[in-house]
């Protein structure tokens, strides 16, 4: 080998090493000093930036982004549900917002069973719980914001007047047009070209929502009248909230719901309240990870972290077969517990959340992991002894199967990616919102519900939720999550906040049904264990398990299935196959994660927004 050849080879090796070390992300890191606004659509992120530029805080901007995403039907509507974690810099505490609707009057297990159903329906008027997002937005704004409803609603009202609709949403309307035609108020809004080849709006067409605009105007008018009457900003916003849930808006919502076969009554709306709660928290290697409690799937990520804390993950290497297997097994154990023990804490029976989140219980689960083989039959554990109690559901638990025997339709156990109906439910999307400001307010939100195809309730312009489908009808499946009037279903929606050294460390969330806490878990580990920056962690390839029960439609499961990135090397594939995995592959597997990292060393924000979809952020 000549000296020239040696030099050339050395140069190529050095260039390769440098390129591997400094591999650029597909989207850049967002940097900001004063504020950060990230959500599911560029126009909605712009709405947040508009509020920040007018002097609003992170709560004000969050409410503007929430209003905008609902108006744009970013896989949610005004009649859906809102879940949030908020860091209050004045109290230095994380608080939780529970704005999830409840099952209406008449929504009993027997009601749905008598219709020949194994679960409440996935769409239509009987899928609706009471609307939660309006109350959640107005409560957050009244309690923690600084602006008026009029100011915060302004971008959304401009959108309702008419905005150039993006292709993704317009095409979703077109794909679902046959179903939308069954609901007169939805047909009027979503199908402006009836009788033509394409009946939904065209991409870029100005999409107008006159009924929704009128509803938003009523809320603003009520607030402004209250202010003129001498009410405080807070009381004026709550006056608007009263009009939505107890006034003429409520009456029209109920009339339109019941006209189309729904169950929601005026009493259901009047009795419903937003709840401000204590979040759950676990410590992972000195970082406190906050989630909403067991009415969401959030504690499943905390349980998985407790289990994984017993491993040296960093030494395994990022996305090696050993690492993937370990994370997959821990997730499946946590999600098996979710599928059996999680439910509305405000109705009986009482969930054993203390035991589920105990480090001792996690050690027991850790010891049960087979490090050599996948376990497609993993079952829920027994957390009751870890809170000094005896499990009252042991006979039910002994008969519990990893695959629900009560599925409405027995689907073939083929590849998840070859079953589009299953995937549509498993990955049922929503949006996410992340906001932070220089005063120290931090907000993480995962709103959802009222996605297309949505039933619009009368002339309100408000699409109704489809969250009833998350309930069980059989207590043998989950004794804590059986539908009954006034009860909240256990939802997949799961915002996240992490604290370190008494300060915000990460704010993060993702859309995507049952995949949410899987992707958020790996995003968190990407940063904490493998030193990725926030954008690298957002884009890094994740795995997904399909072994848990889907929270949608017929609650099916695909035991032993794993989704891998198509760039997974052959030796990793071979090792996983030998462990008993059935593998599927996709080009992008991160999920549309949105996140903010708090750089206290430099006094700045680092924003991340995955390359998975249309999610977008703006910082200043």
For range 164-172, the mean pLDDT = 95
Per-residue three-class SS string for 268-326: HHHHCCCEEECCEEEEECCEEEEECCCCECHHHHHHHHHHHCCCCHHHHCCCCHHHHHH
Residue 356 lies in a domain: yes
pLDDT at 300: 98
* CA separation for the pair 222, 224 (Å, rounded): 6
Q: What is the DSSP letter of 532?
A: -
Parallel, antiparallel, or unpaired for β 561-565 and 582-586? parallel
pLDDT at 97 over 50: yes
Please tell me which residue, 612 or 65, carries the higher pLDDT value: 65
- Residues 131 and 255 reside in one and the same domain: yes
Residue-wise pLDDT for 240-296, tens only, equals: 999 999 999 999 999 999 999 999 999 999 999 999 999 999 999 999 999 999 999
* 272, 102 contact by CB (below 8 A): yes
Residue-wise pLDDT for 568-619, tens only, equals: 999 999 999 999 999 999 999 999 999 999 999 999 999 999 988 889 999 9
* CA separation for the pair 507, 497 (Å, rounded): 5
- Residues 491 and 542 reside in one and the same domain: yes
- DSSP 3-state assignment of 340? helix
pLDDT at 14: 36
pLDDT at 111 over 50: yes
Look at the alpha carbons of 128, 397, 295, 68 in this order and tell me if their dihedral is positive or negative.
negative
- Residues 531 and 402 reside in one and the same domain: yes
pLDDT at 116 over 80: yes
pLDDT at 613: 81
The domain that holds 301 is classified in CATH as: 3.60.20.40
- Residues 311 and 263 reside in one and the same domain: no
Residue-wise pLDDT for 286-340, tens only, equals: 999 999 999 999 999 999 999 999 999 999 999 999 999 999 999 999 999 999 9
- Residues 578 and 547 reside in one and the same domain: yes
pLDDT at 10: 41
| DSSP state string for 242-263 | HHHHHSHHHHHHHHHHHHTT--
Residue 13 lies in a domain: no
pLDDT at 408 over 90: no
Residue 17 lies in a domain: no
- Residues 100 and 182 reside in one and the same domain: yes
Q: How confident is the model at residue 20 (pLDDT cuts 50, 70, 90)?
A: very low
Helices (H) and strands (E) in the chain, counts: 23, 19
- Residues 149 and 217 reside in one and the same domain: yes
For range 432-442, the mean pLDDT = 98
- Residues 454 and 336 reside in one and the same domain: no
Q: How confident is the model at residue 114 (pLDDT cuts 50, 70, 90)?
A: very high
Lowest mean pLDDT among 120-124, 343-347, 428-432: 428-432
Using CB atoms within 10 A of its CB, is residue 420 exposed (0-12), middle (13-18) or buried (19+)? exposed
Q: How confident is the model at residue 425 (pLDDT cuts 50, 70, 90)?
A: low
Mean per-residue pLDDT over the chain, rounded:
93
* CA separation for the pair 189, 143 (Å, rounded): 33
Residue-wise pLDDT for 501-555, tens only, equals: 999 999 999 998 899 999 999 999 999 999 999 999 999 999 999 999 999 988 9
Residue-wise pLDDT for 464-490, tens only, equals: 999 999 999 999 999 999 999 999 999
Instruction: Note down the domain range covering 85.
Output: 34-276+437-470
- DSSP 3-state assignment of 235? helix
pLDDT at 174: 98
* CA separation for the pair 109, 479 (Å, rounded): 12
* CA separation for the pair 255, 261 (Å, rounded): 10
- Residues 234 and 119 reside in one and the same domain: yes
Strand order in the sheet with 442-445: 275-277, 93-99, 82-88, 442-445, 433-437, 35-39, 616-619
Q: Which of 470, 495, 516 is the last residue of a domain?
A: 470
* 67, 155 contact by CB (below 8 A): yes
Give the length of the chain.
620
For range 407-433, the mean pLDDT = 62
Q: How confident is the model at residue 24 (pLDDT cuts 50, 70, 90)?
A: confident
Please tell me which residue, 419 or 330, carries the higher pLDDT value: 330
pLDDT at 348: 86
Residue 557 lies in a domain: yes
What residues have CB less than 8 Å from 341, skipping those under 6 apart?
A: 294, 351, 352, 356, 380, 383, 478, 480
- Picking from 254, 256, 341, the residue whose alpha carbon sits closest to that of residue 296 is 341
Residue 579 lies in a domain: yes
* CA separation for the pair 385, 370 (Å, rounded): 23
Strand order in the sheet with 604-609: 30-32, 604-609, 593-599, 503-510, 496-500, 287-291, 280-284
Residue 12 lies in a domain: no
- Residues 189 and 301 reside in one and the same domain: no
- What is the domain count for the chain? 2
- Residues 259 and 145 reside in one and the same domain: yes
Q: How confident is the model at residue 401 (pLDDT cuts 50, 70, 90)?
A: confident
* 186, 180 contact by CB (below 8 A): yes
- Residues 455 and 357 reside in one and the same domain: no
Residue 354 lies in a domain: yes
Residue 298 lies in a domain: yes
Residue-wise pLDDT for 191-232, tens only, equals: 999 999 999 999 999 999 999 999 999 999 999 999 999 999
For range 354-360, the mean pLDDT = 98
* CA separation for the pair 62, 617 (Å, rounded): 12
Residue 94 structure tokens: 């994380």
Residue-wise pLDDT for 82-96, tens only, equals: 999 999 999 999 999
């Amino acid at each position: 080998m000549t000296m020239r050849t040696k030099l050339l080879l050395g140069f190529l090796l050095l260039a390769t090493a440098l390129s591997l070390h400094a591999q650029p992300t597909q989207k850049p890191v967002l940097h900001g000093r004063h504020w950060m606004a990230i959500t599911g659509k560029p126009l909605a992120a712009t709405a947040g930036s508009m509020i920040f530029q007018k002097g609003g805080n992170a709560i004000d901007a969050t409410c503007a982004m929430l209003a905008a995403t609902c108006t744009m039907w970013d896989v949610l509507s005004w009649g859906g549900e809102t879940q949030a974690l908020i860091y209050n810099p004045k109290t230095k505490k994380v608080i939780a917002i529970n704005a999830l609707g409840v099952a209406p009057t008449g929504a009993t297990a027997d009601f749905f069973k008598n219709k020949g159903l194994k679960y409440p329906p996935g769409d239509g008027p009987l899928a609706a719980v009471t609307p939660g997002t309006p109350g959640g937005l107005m409560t957050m704004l009244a309690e923690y914001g600084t602006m008026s409803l009029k100011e915060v609603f302004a971008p959304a009202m401009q959108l309702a007047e008419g905005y150039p609709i993006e292709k993704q949403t317009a095409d979703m309307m077109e794909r679902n047009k046959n179903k939308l035609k069954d609901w007169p108020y939805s047909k009027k809004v979503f199908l402006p070209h009836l009788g033509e080849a394409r009946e939904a709006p065209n991409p870029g067409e100005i999409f107008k929502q006159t009924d929704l605009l009128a509803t938003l105007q009523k809320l603003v008018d009520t607030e402004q009248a209250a202010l003129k009457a001498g009410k405080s900003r807070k009381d004026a916003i709550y006056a608007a909230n009263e009009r939505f849930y107890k006034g003429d808006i409520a009456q029209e919502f109920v009339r339109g719901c019941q006209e189309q076969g729904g169950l929601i009554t005026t009493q259901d709306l009047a009795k419903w309240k937003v709840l401000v709660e204590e979040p759950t928290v676990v410590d992972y290697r000195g970082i406190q990870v906050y989630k909403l409690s067991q009415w969401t799937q959030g504690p499943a990520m905390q349980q998985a972290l407790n289990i994984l804390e017993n491993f040296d993950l960093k030494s395994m290497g990022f996305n090696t077969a050993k690492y993937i297997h370990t994370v997959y097994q821990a997730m499946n154990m946590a999600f098996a517990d979710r599928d059996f023990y999680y439910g509305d804490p405000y109705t009986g029976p009482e969930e054993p959340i203390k035991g589920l989140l105990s480090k001792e219980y996690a050690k027991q689960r850790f010891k049960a992991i087979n490090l050599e083989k996948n376990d497609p039959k993993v079952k829920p554990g027994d957390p009751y002894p870890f809170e000094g109690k005896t499990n009252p559901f042991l006979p039910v638990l002994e008969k519990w199967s990893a695959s629900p025997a009560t599925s409405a339709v027995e689907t073939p156990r083929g590849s998840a990616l070859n079953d589009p109906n299953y995937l549509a439910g498993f990955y049922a999307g929503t949006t996410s919102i992340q906001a932070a400001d220089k005063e120290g307010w931090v907000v993480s939100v995962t709103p959802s519900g009222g996605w297309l195809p949505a039933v619009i309730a009368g002339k309100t312009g408000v699409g109704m939720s489809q969250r009833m489908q998350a309930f069980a009808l059989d207590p043998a499946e989950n004794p804590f999550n059986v539908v009954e009037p006034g009860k909240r279903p256990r939802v997949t929606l799961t915002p996240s906040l992490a604290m370190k050294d008494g300060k915000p460390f990460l704010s993060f969330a993702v859309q995507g049904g049952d995949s949410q806490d899987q992707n958020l878990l790996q995003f968190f580990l990407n940063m904490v264990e493998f030193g990725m920056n926030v954008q690298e962690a957002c884009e890094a390839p994740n795995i997904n398990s399909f072994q848990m029960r889907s929270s949608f439609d017929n609650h099916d499961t695909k035991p032993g299935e794993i989704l891998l990135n198509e760039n997974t090397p052959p030796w990793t594939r071979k090792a996983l196959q030998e462990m008993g995995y059935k593998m599927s592959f996709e080009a992008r597997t991160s999920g549309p994660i949105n996140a903010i990292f708090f750089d206290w060393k430099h006094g700045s924000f680092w924003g991340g927004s995955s390359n998975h979809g249309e999610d977008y952020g703006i910082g200043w």
